[in-house]
A and B are shown apart, each in its own frame.
Chain A
Amino acid sequence: MFHIFCPYCQEYREEEEFHPSGQAHLVRPADPASVSDDEWGDYLFFRDNPRGIHHEMWVHRLGCRKFFNITRDTTSYEILETYRMGEQPSITAANAEVRREQGVQTADGGWQTVGAQPENSRLNEETPS
Chain B
Amino acid sequence: MTQSNRLNQGGRIDRSRRLSFTFNGQQYMGFAGDTLASALLANGVDVVNRSFKYSRPRGITAAGPEEPNAIVQLGATEAAQVPNVRATQQALYDGLVARGTNGWPSVQRDVMSWVGKLGGGFMPPGFYYKTFMAPASMWMTYEKFIRKGAGLGRSPSEADPDIYDHFNQHCDVLVIGSGPAGLTAALSAARAGARVILCDEQEEMGGSLLDSRESIDGAPASAWAEQAVAELAGLDNVTLLPRTTANGYHDHNFVTLHERRTEHLADTAAAAGREGEVRARLHRVRAGRVVLASGSHERPLVYANNDVPGNLVAGAVSVYIRRYGVVPGQRLVLSTNNDHAYRAALDWQEAGREVVAVVDSRAKPDGDLAKQARDAGIRVITGSAVMEATGNQRVSGAKVVAIDTERFVVTGKVETLECDTIASSGGYSPVVHLASHTGKRPQWRDDLLGFVPGEVKGMHVAGGAHGVYALGEALADGAGVGAEAARAAGFEEAAAIAVPDVEVRHESPTSALYQVPHEKPPLRAPKQFVDLQNDVTAAAVELATREGFESIEHVKRYTALGFGTDQGKLGNINGMAIAARCLNRSIPDVGTTVFRPNYTPVSFGAIVGRHCRDLFDPERYTALHQWHVENGAEFEDVGQWKRPWYFPRRVNGKRETMHEAVARECLAVRRGVGILDASTLGKIDIQGPDAREFLGRVYTNKWAKLAPGRVRYGLMCKDDGMLMDDGTTSCLGENHFLMTTTTGGAAGVLEWLELWHQTEWPELQVYFGSVTDHWATMTVTGPDARKLMSEVTDIDLDREQFKFMDWKEGKVAGVPARVFRISFTGELAFEINVQANYAMHVWKALFAHGEKYDLTPYGTETMHVLRAEKGLIIAGQDTDGSVTPEDLGMHWAVGYDKPFSWIGQRALTRPDTAREDRKQLVGLKPKDPKVVLEEGAQIVLDPEQKIPMTMMGHVTSSYYSPVLESGFALAVLKGGRNRMGETVYLPMSDGSVHQAEVVSTVFIDPKGERQNV
Contact = CB atoms under 8 A, between A and B. Distances in A.
Same assembly: yes
Interface of A: 1-3, 14, 19, 21, 28, 31-33, 35, 37, 40-41, 43-45, 57, 59, 61, 65-67, 76-79, 85-86, 125-129
Interface string B540-569: 000000000001010010000010000110
Listed from nearest, the 3 A-B pairs whose CB atoms lie closest are: A32-B906, A3-B252, A1-B254
Contact of A127 (B286, B553, B751): B553
A3 B253 contact: yes
B755 A67 contact: yes
B762 interface: yes
B121 to A, nearest CB: 29
B416 to A, nearest CB: 38
B758 A129 contact: no
B901 A129 contact: no
Interface stretch (B591-599, B845-853, B943-951): B591-599
Contact of A14 (B286, B441, B909): B286
Contact of A37 (B254, B568, B754, B911): B911
A129 B568 contact: yes
A129 B286 contact: no
A129 B438 contact: no
Nearest to B256: A1
A1 B441 contact: no
B901 A33 contact: yes
A45 B901 CA distance: 18
A128 B439 contact: yes
Contacts of B905: 32
Given A31-B901, A86-B762, A21 B286 contact: no
A31 B755 CA distance: 19
A83 B906 CA distance: 31
A77 B253 CA distance: 12
B793 to A, nearest CB: 36
B253 A129 contact: no
B549 to A, nearest CB: 13
Contacts of B751: 19, 59, 61, 65
Nearest to A40: B906
A34 to B, nearest CB: 10
20 contacts: A3-B254, A3-B286, A14-B286, A21-B755, A28-B719, A28-B760, A37-B909, A40-B907, A59-B754, A59-B755, A65-B751, A67-B758, A76-B457, A125-B551, A126-B441, A127-B553, A129-B556, A129-B568, A129-B593, A129-B596
Given A1-B284, A127-B553, 18 more contacts: A1-B252, A1-B286, A3-B251, A31-B901, A32-B901, A37-B911, A40-B907, A40-B910, A41-B910, A61-B751, A67-B754, A67-B759, A79-B252, A85-B759, A125-B551, A129-B562, A129-B567, A129-B595
B449 to A, nearest CB: 20
Contacts of B719: 28, 43-44
B758 A66 contact: yes
B723 to A, nearest CB: 15
A19 B754 CA distance: 13
Say what secondary structure dominates the interface of chain B. Answer: loop
Nearest to B248: A1
Interface in B61-84: none
A57 B758 CA distance: 12
A102 B556 CA distance: 38
Nearest to B556: A129
Contacts of B251: 1-3, 77
A51 B508 CA distance: 47
Contacts of A1: 250-252, 254, 284, 286
A36 B279 CA distance: 63
Contacts of A86: 762
Contacts of B901: 31-33
Given A3-B286, A44-B720, A85 B758 contact: yes
Nearest to B910: A37
A86 B763 CA distance: 12
A91 B431 CA distance: 36
A77 B438 contact: yes
Contacts of B556: 129
Interface in B239-286: 250-254, 284, 286
A4 B594 CA distance: 26
B754 A65 contact: yes
B566 to A, nearest CB: 11
Contacts of A2: 251-252
Contacts of B286: 1, 3, 14
A35 B910 CA distance: 11
Interface string B739-777: 000000000000100110011101000000000000000
Contacts of A19: 751
Interface in B29-53: none
A127 B592 CA distance: 10
A32 to B, nearest CB: 4
Nearest to B250: A1
A33 B758 contact: no
Contacts of A37: 909-911
Residue from B252, B253, B593, B760 whose CB has the most chain A CB atoms within 10 Å:
B252
Nearest to B287: A3
Contacts of A128: 439, 594-596
A32 B905 CA distance: 9
B591 to A, nearest CB: 7
A1 B286 CA distance: 9
A33 to B, nearest CB: 6
A126 B251 CA distance: 19
A100 to B, nearest CB: 15
Nearest to B593: A129
Contacts of B252: 1-3, 77, 79
A20 to B, nearest CB: 12
A129 B437 CA distance: 10
Contacts of B911: 37
A79 B457 CA distance: 12
A64 to B, nearest CB: 11
B773 to A, nearest CB: 16
Contact of B759 (A33, A41, A57): A57
Contacts of B562: 129
Contacts of A31: 901
Contacts of B909: 37
Interface string B707-733: 000000000000110000000000000
A65 B907 CA distance: 29
Contacts of A3: 251-254, 286
A65 B251 CA distance: 23
A46 to B, nearest CB: 12
Contacts of A44: 719-720, 907
Nearest to B755: A67
A129 B553 contact: yes
Interface in B428-459: 438-439, 441, 457
A43 B721 CA distance: 13
Contacts of B906: 32-33, 35, 40
A76 B440 CA distance: 9
A79 B253 CA distance: 13
A84 to B, nearest CB: 10
A100 B594 CA distance: 25
